Structure 1
Amino acid sequence: MLRHDRFPARLTQLLAGLCLYGISMAMMVRANLGLDPWDVLHQGLAHRLGLSFGWTVNLVGLVVLALWLPLRQRPGLGTVLNIMVIGTVTDLALAVIPAPEGYIPRFALLGFGIVLNGIAGGAYIGAGLGPGPRDGLMTGFCRRTGLPVKAVRTAIELAVLAIGWLLGGTVGLGTVLYAVSIGWVVHYALPAFAFDKARPQPQPASA
């Protein structure tokens, strides 16, 4: 059971993490050096469906949620807000973040985007109000297989990358950097933001 006196702090951390996650996605899009694996999928689907990038993110979240059933994952408030907030914030951020010129500014934007993405993910998962649909797959597989977060997250990212590329999503150097680094960032960000410090994080048994 959640302590009621900590719920406001958990909710604040959740919403901040979700908003920062959306901003980080927009940063990587504007860097134009290759999208992260999930966004390669989102971009490919957006072009095919005629939807905005953010709306496609939200739609994919709904579809991925259905994949929780065999893993016996239970959605929470964080799951619902994830589907509603991230894509919406991404569209808003894309409207205000300019595309930088020159490789140095673009690489800097990409690097900050990747790090912010991992930290934001650790923040909203660590709030303990329910992971997002995509991260529910990660934590569910961790619990079922006993594998560490960094291994499972990287495997999922690489699988999604392949599907997104087949759909026509943009793959580049940024895609590779994200795929090989995001698992490590999330692996170390989760313990820093976990409210339930007594439970080992991010070990699969406590996911």
Structure 2
Amino acid sequence: MIYKPKQIARVVFGLFLFALGIVMTVNANLGVSPWDVFHQGLSKTFGITLGRANIITGLFIIGLDVVLGQTIGWATIMNMLLIGTFIDILMLNNLVPVFDSFMPSLIMLLLGVLIEGYGCFIYISGGMGAGPRDGLMVVLTRRTGKSVRVIKSAIEVIVVTVGIILGGKFGIGTLIMALFGGMIFQFAFKTVNFKVNQVQHRFIQDDLKLLKGGA
């Protein structure tokens, strides 16, 4: 029933790395990932930080996941809260450099996506659930019968379009991450021999059943 401190620390560290990767892609100034175009648009429209926009979006998606019947884990909640918090800590304290020249920016963009990949591996392998956005993709795939590729592409087109309307930054970096982000993540997973479909997750409902059984 009780999660090990090492397991929780693993999830937190993985989420920090993921946030670091996001900030690197933002500070590369070449355009951000599809979801971050949306987050930037929210940030500019409502005058909030990028991290808070990330948290608010994650909270809404978790609610949608639950309504659609997707199980969530404690790492899903931690993802929603901590990634946005880490983003704000890194950006507000200028802990990641900002580049304007193309080649340094491109290198930092690609490194940022790679770091996101390793962060994803570390926190998902903790077995406490995946992120809200991944959960939405999974539940929509299950409910519609469409492929993951179709659902993922449809979601990203929608969030990019809304993000651009709200003032988010679309650029060559957005295209690079949309086209090659999956390949870079797969490379990161391969270097550590990580197979995401083999992770055995414990969800919040499993813990609630255990509590109910114990009572």
TM-score normalised by structure 1 residue count: 0.81
Query: Cα RMSD (Å) of the superposition?
Result: 2.8
**Which residue number corresponds to residue 175 of structure 2?**
176
The one of 60, 79, 82 aligned to 2:79: 82
Q: Counterparts of 1:148 and 1:168 in 2: how far apart (Å)?
A: 30
The one of 23, 30, 51 aligned to 1:33: 30
**Which residue number corresponds to residue 194 of structure 2?**
192
Contact 1:128 1:194 in 2 (8 A): no
Contact 1:42 1:56 in 2 (8 A): yes
How many residue pairs are counted as aligned between the two chains?
A: 196
Q: Counterparts of 1:30 and 1:151 in 2: how far apart (Å)?
A: 29
Counterpart mapping for 1:37-76 below 5 A: 37-76=34-73
Q: Counterparts of 1:99 and 1:86 in 2: how far apart (Å)?
A: 20
CA-CA distance at 1:43 after TM superposition:
0.6
CA-CA distance at 1:88 after TM superposition:
0.8
Higher alpha-carbon Rg: 2
| Structure 1 runs not aligned, ≥5 long | 200-207
Amino acid at match of 1:81: M
Amino acid at match of 2:139: G
User: Structure 1 residue runs of 4+, over 6 Å off?
Assistant: none
Amino acid at match of 1:68: D
Distance 1:100 1:118, change over 3 A: same
| Structure 2 runs not aligned, ≥5 long | 202-215
Q: Counterparts of 1:130 and 1:85 in 2: how far apart (Å)?
A: 14
**Which residue number corresponds to residue 121 of structure 1?**
120
Q: Counterparts of 2:6 and 2:148 in 1: how far apart (Å)?
A: 25
Counterpart mapping for 1:130-149 below 5 A: 130-145=129-144, 149=148
Distance 1:14 1:91, change over 3 A: same
The one of 12, 17, 34 aligned to 1:15: 12
TM-score normalised by structure 2 residue count: 0.78
What is the percentage of aligned positions where both structures have the same residue? 34
